[in-house]
Structure formats: structure tokens, C-alpha cells
Amino acid sequence: MERREFISGVAGVAGVAAATGIASASTRRSPAGVTSQAPFKSAYAPHFGMFSQHGGDDVGQLEFAAEQGFTAWEDNGMAGRSVEQQTKIAKAMERLDMRMGVFVVNMGTAWKTSFAARDKALRDQFLDECRKSVEVAKRVNATWMTVVCGTEHNRLHPELQMANCIEQLRLAADIFEPHGLVMALEPLNPYRDHPGVYLQRSTQAYAICKGVNSPACKILFDIYHQQITEGNLIPNIDSCWEEIGYFQIGDNPGRKEPTTGEINYRNIFKHIRDRGFTGILGMEHGNSKGGKEGEQAVIDAYRWSDDG
């Protein structure tokens, strides 16, 4: 049976169960007596805006996601929120027993030649972003933080660029490691979304992490980006496994939920679980359809893909 056909069938069965008052095996009663879905096998992390039609405001979206079985959340822009907003979100997530995924450390230096070159001003700016991120991470109970390693330096040999990047990340690791915090270096695709970006390949990120040699520096393996840049997903995941700390998700083409493109997420999720990964998989993609129907399609796609 085709993926989309199966998912449509699941949605139809769920509708019948709701209409007849029959609870399926995938539902449970929360302590408050509200019927909610069983937790997913893996810790998939939606983001704000993904369930706005069902959930409303930020806390409402967290509550809706928890009811649907999601046990984690991520927010790229968390560091730019007010202390009041950060505290409110953290309290809601603690109440809902949800884990905090990544936020972006270096919004100010992410798209500059800030890692490949030895530019003192940009290096100091990045390290200041790291220090500020420590306080944000403590406030929102985060462990993992995305680091985008800037753009390429067109007049430096690639090996010199790598040496500069490693040197800078060692300084950042000295900031994060005493607090048990982890930078997640994200290779990005240079073809569709980010031309000129420095860090592009999972193997490149692996070599950098080996050079930094710190538990505070790991790979964020974004499956969407790596499908575009290099493909060969499961073998590359295996090759880089000991340095991967976090995954992100998006199908290709389109960067929408699983089942909308060419990536076999059902097999990939199973492979990651079978290898013993218990970390977070961020849902860094859009919804393929609008409104409540589109939000339900995302949930159904994850239910099917999670069931491998």
C-alpha cells in the first residue's frame, strides 16, 4: 500500500473511532482525563507555527502537541525572545514533560565569514553569542544549540579554513563544556538553500568535531540538507554516528513533512532507533497543506513514519 493511501486510511479510521466514541489502542487518558495519543517511539520536536490552527498561542501549541504524543519541541529563535517569554515556555514544557530541542546560538554571525577566516572581531562576536546562549539554555532547560559555521572564504585553502573553524570552535567548547551544553554543527546544502555556506557535508562536520575533540561539539545531521548535498543517507549516518548528537527532518523536494517527497523516513527512523538513538529529531520543515487539515496531515505522516 502506498504511503499516502495508508495515511488517508489511518485518518479515516480515527474519524470513525471519534464518531462512535471508541478509543483506539494508540490513545490514552491524561491525568486530567483528556483523551490523548500515545507518545511517539522517537522524540520528534515540532516548532511554533506548525500547529497554530489547533493550538492558538505558544502555550496552546505546546499543549496540543503533547496531546498528540510529541515529547519534544524546538525553537530556532528562542535566544531572541524576551526573558519573560522564555520562562513562560520553559514552565509549560516542564508541566507537559516535554524536552527542549535546539535553538540557534549565532544569529549574528551565521551568514558571515565568521569561522573559515581568522577575523578577530567576528570571532569575539561569536564567543559573546555563546556566552549569552549559556544563560538562555539554562532558562529553557536546553542542552543542544545549533551553530551555523558561516560562509566560505574564497581566497583561503579549504584546509586552512577548516583549521580556523576548529580553532574557533575549541574556544566555544571551553565556554559550553563546563555547563554540560552542546553545540550542534549543522551542515547545510549549498545548492538549493544556502549557496556559499562553509559547512556542507556530514563528513566535513565529522572531521571538525574530531579536531575540536570535545563533548560540547557534535553534529546536527539535517536529513533534508544532506539528501540534497550528498544523499547516501543511512551509510553516512553510520559513518558519522559517534559524532552525531541531533537530527532534523524535512522531505525533499519541498522541505515538508515525511511522505511528501523522496526520502524513506520510515526506514530512516527505524534505523536510527535500532542504533539506540534516544535524542531529539527536530521537525524543521513546513506543512504541505494549510489549515487544520494540513496540521493533521503532519501528525498522520509522523504516525505512519514512526511505525516502522
To the nearest whole percent, how much of the chain has pLDDT over 90? 88
- Residue 146 is assigned to a structural domain of this protein: yes
* Contact yes or no for 220/185 (Cβ under 8 A): yes
The mean per-residue pLDDT over the stretch 99-124 comes to: 98
Residue 32 has pLDDT above 70, yes or no: no
Q: Give the per-residue pLDDT at 2.
A: 52
CATH code for the domain of 198:
3.20.20.150
The mean per-residue pLDDT over the stretch 99-114 comes to: 98
The mean per-residue pLDDT over the stretch 266-294 comes to: 98
* Contact yes or no for 145/186 (Cβ under 8 A): no
- Residue 204 is assigned to a structural domain of this protein: yes
Q: Give the per-residue pLDDT at 160.
A: 98
Q: What is the pTM of this model?
A: 0.89
- Residue 10 is assigned to a structural domain of this protein: no
- Residue 278 is assigned to a structural domain of this protein: yes
* Number of domains, the chain: 1
The Cα 90–Cα 87 span in angstroms is 5
Identity of the amino acid at 93: M
Q: Give the per-residue pLDDT at 36.
A: 73
Confidence of residue 104 (pLDDT cuts 50, 70, 90): very high
- What are the Cα distances from residue 30, in Å, to 45, 61, 63, 242? 20, 17, 12, 37
Task: Count CA atoms within 13 Å of residue 36 on its CB side.
Answer: 19
* Contact yes or no for 50/295 (Cβ under 8 A): yes
The mean per-residue pLDDT over the stretch 227-237 comes to: 98
- Integer-rounded Cα Rg, in Å, for the chain is 20
The mean per-residue pLDDT over the stretch 98-124 comes to: 98
Q: Helix count (H) and strand count (E) of the chain?
A: 11, 10
- List pLDDT tens digits, range 142-168: 999 999 999 999 999 999 999 999 999
The mean per-residue pLDDT over the stretch 265-286 comes to: 98
- Residue 182 is assigned to a structural domain of this protein: yes
- Residue 188 is assigned to a structural domain of this protein: yes
Using the 8-state DSSP alphabet, how is residue 80 labeled? G
Q: Give the per-residue pLDDT at 263.
A: 98
- List pLDDT tens digits, range 243-265: 999 999 999 999 999 999 999 99
Q: Give the per-residue pLDDT at 5.
A: 52
Q: Give the per-residue pLDDT at 142.
A: 98
The mean per-residue pLDDT over the stretch 118-130 comes to: 98
Q: Give the per-residue pLDDT at 22.
A: 32
If you average pLDDT over every residue of the chain, what do you get? 91
> Domain of 258?
36-305
Q: Give the per-residue pLDDT at 116.
A: 98
Q: Which of 10-14, 38-42, 169-173, 262-266 has the lowest mean pLDDT?
A: 10-14
- Residue 254 is assigned to a structural domain of this protein: yes
Confidence of residue 1 (pLDDT cuts 50, 70, 90): very low
User: Dmax of the chain from CA atoms?
Assistant: 68
CA nearest neighbour of 109 among 222, 197, 18, 237: 197
- Residue 28 is assigned to a structural domain of this protein: no
* Phi, psi angles (nearest 5°) of residue 205: -65, -35
